[in-house]
Amino acid sequence: MEPILIYGFPAGSSMGLVACLEWLGRPYKLGRVDMLGEMREPSYKRITPRVETPVLITERGDVVTETIAIAAWLEARGPERRISFDPLSREAERMHQLMAFINTGFTGAFSPLWAAMEMQPSVPAMQSTLKEWGRENVIERHDRLEEMIGDTKFLIADHPTLADGILIGVARWLDIHQVADRARWPKLAALRERIEADPAVIYAMALENGEKCDRHRGMPGSCRAERGDRPVRRKVAANERARDGYRRPVARPPS
């Protein structure tokens, strides 16, 4: 049995782990779950009571949750060090530091913005407060990450690693929530452009958007990536209409 990564759409942070699996170069399978629909059904809760993505089902059938735990699982299965480094090296220490920062404070800063976007029923005064608080947090965390970026092509080295995968799944939320222009942080903006241009990331984003696509190792550049802000907002709006009794069925992207 090959490991199975269950990743969420729209715009789940787990998109970056799909790219990491591609960079790792080992066999795997994917499961794609609608975070605004399927993930909230009882059948998904049988996989993980946390009702979150990502989830990794290992070759032995064990269930691994949490992005950092899954990243550690991938790191341990990459002896060629395509996406990581010697555990005793300075590069490994820096990679783990950045992964932890991105997965905690950087990702968590967006929580008020997601809460405001998905709030049902809508409470405008509370949503306004959440948005203001969230924007302040996101800008501050972006300031800190901008200071941490060095002079390598990617976060740690001149090739992408686990840290880059974890970053790119979350960094696009800046655009989705329209917090600020990415150009405000030039080093981070340039880094994002390089990661987003990587064939594995293009492939992962295309899958997330429901596009039919060849594996990137077989046909580089055969998928078209697009920024995720409009699709996410349309998906959220569609689910809001469905909850409010809107009778037209919600369109589900092809699996």
- Residue 43 CA to residue 254 CA, distance in Å, equals 20
Give the pLDDT mean for 141-151: 98
Domains of the chain are 4-243 (1.20.1050.130)
- Residue 206 CA to residue 156 CA, distance in Å, equals 26
pLDDT tens digits, 71-91: 999 999 999 999 999 999 999
pLDDT tens digits, 31-65: 999 998 899 899 999 999 989 999 999 999 999 99
- Residue 109 CA to residue 233 CA, distance in Å, equals 19
Q: What is the pLDDT, as a whole number, of residue 36?
A: 87
pLDDT tens digits, 123-132: 999 999 999 9
Percent of the chain with pLDDT over 70: 84
103 pLDDT band, cuts 50/70/90, is very high
Per-position DSSP letters for 16-47, written without gaps between them? HHHHHHHHHT---EEEEEETTTGGGSHHHHTT
Give the pLDDT mean for 201-223: 72
How many helices (H) and strands (E) in the chain?
A: 12, 4
For 4, the 3-state DSSP assignment is strand
Closest Cα partner for 63 from 77, 83, 46? 46
**Contact residues for 225 (Cβ-Cβ < 8 A; gap 6+):** 196, 201, 202, 205, 206
pTM: 0.84
- Residue 14 CA to residue 148 CA, distance in Å, equals 23
